[in-house]
Amino acid sequence: MAMEESFGIKEENKIESQSIVRQSNIELLRIVAMFLIVMHHYVIHGTTSFVYLDSPLTLQNVFALFLGSFGRPAVGIFVLICGYFSIKSEFKLPRFVSLIAQVVSYGVVLLLFTKFVLPGGSAISREELFASIFPTARGTYWFITAYAVLILVSPYINKLLLMLTQKQHKALIVLFVVIWCLLPTLIGATFSGSDLAYFVALYTIAAYIRLYPLKPNAARHFALFGFWAFILLASIAAPSYLLNYSGVFRKYITYFAEYNKLPGAMCALELFLAMSQTKPFYSKLINGIASTSFGIYLIHENFLIRPFLWGTLFNSAAYVDTPRYFVHFFGSALIVFASCALIDTLFWRLSVGKLFNLLRDKYLEKIVSYVKSLYFAIEKLFVKLI
């Protein structure tokens, strides 16, 4: 199942004969990507006020923005992983249902936690209630909303891609790159529904890599990742320096850090290629930590938890332009990552999730059968009416 393949990859090489074993080189990539996302959120939710001030940025500000900028490419890495493994796998409804249930469970539990456990809790508003109970449909997590739709349509995307010749598949990628990467980079073009559409583009690229493997050269791709990371740093440093002469450059400081801009997109692609071409290995510890990445995202990026986490608990803004900023930066990100991983293990992996999966295995087939019967009954009635 696609989403599960991205947040928990199945093995497919010489260790792959055992389907329950996962490639730890890819699992390690998921850990790195999620940690980059946590660092990104530390910067954008806690300390980016300096970007909008009148004064020029300090060297510390520039490197903070640089480290935080990898969160967007990290999102692309998860989509690339999804497309790479999903092109040769089948959609599995039970896993998808479990993951949606996980999103809803965290939404409800964190709503109750922030309202009745954390200090300063207020009455639950109608908007907060609906955003927590229907997080995917309401766009509570922008990534999950776009990603869930991608998963639902992935079987049809796969059928279409598998019908293409290699030349046609490559031409489609070129078209996607021009529309969803080059034009946004060069002229700032925007298109309606860009998140989902860009995810489809990344999915298509990863599927091509899986269907038509490149010659392995992990060292080359690590070097290219370093090159694009340097370009990303330069794209932040240059307008930051030019602020000394004109405030017009302020809007360009993080322009190239977006996931659909060329430097960010290439960072995601090159790091994915480098790690996927690294010699596969197995580590129970790495796989165990990586399995909590979805929960880490759901917990720390919850719209009710965010203000408390970065504003109250860590008070990130207070450390801007102090000697302890980067110590606090990395320390806070590590604490958030580790704490959320532990919570996800205890809450979902070992308790609520296990219980839900037992109920799912017992009742889901019956529910699906009932829904199908209802659908066919409505279809027959509709045919008679017309």
Considering the domain boundaries, does residue 58 fall inside one?
Answer: yes
pLDDT of residue 372: 78
Q: Phi and psi of 158, rounded to 5°?
A: -60, -45
pLDDT of residue 16: 38
pLDDT over 90, % of the chain:
60
pLDDT of residue 18: 40
pLDDT of residue 10: 40
Considering the domain boundaries, does residue 370 fall inside one?
Answer: no
pLDDT of residue 125: 86
Residue whose entry in the numeric block shows the structure tokens 């009932």: 370
pLDDT of residue 12: 39
pLDDT of residue 236: 92
Considering the domain boundaries, does residue 379 fall inside one?
Answer: no
Considering the domain boundaries, does residue 120 fall inside one?
Answer: yes
pLDDT of residue 339: 98
pTM score: 0.89
Residues of the chain with pLDDT under 50: 1, 9-20
pLDDT of residue 14: 41
Considering the domain boundaries, does residue 382 fall inside one?
Answer: no
Of residues 43, 36, 107, the one with CA closest to residue 73: 36
Considering the domain boundaries, does residue 374 fall inside one?
Answer: no
Considering the domain boundaries, does residue 195 fall inside one?
Answer: yes
pLDDT of residue 314: 94
Residue ranges making up the domain that contains 243: 2-352
Say what angle helices 194-211 and 166-177 make with each other, to 10 degrees.
Answer: 150
* pLDDT tens digits, 14-69: 433 344 478 999 999 999 999 999 999 999 887 766 555 556 788 898 999 999 99
pLDDT of residue 223: 98
Cβ atoms 150, 199 nearer than 8 A = yes
Residue whose entry in the numeric block shows the structure tokens 């730890």: 24
Q: What is the amino acid identity at position 295?
A: G
Instruction: Name the domain count of the chain.
Output: 1
pLDDT of residue 22: 80
Determine how many CB atoms are found less than 10 A away from the CB of residue 300. 23
Q: What is the amino acid identity at position 63?
A: F
Considering the domain boundaries, does residue 358 fall inside one?
Answer: no
pLDDT of residue 164: 97
pLDDT of residue 250: 80
Cβ atoms 51, 254 nearer than 8 A = yes
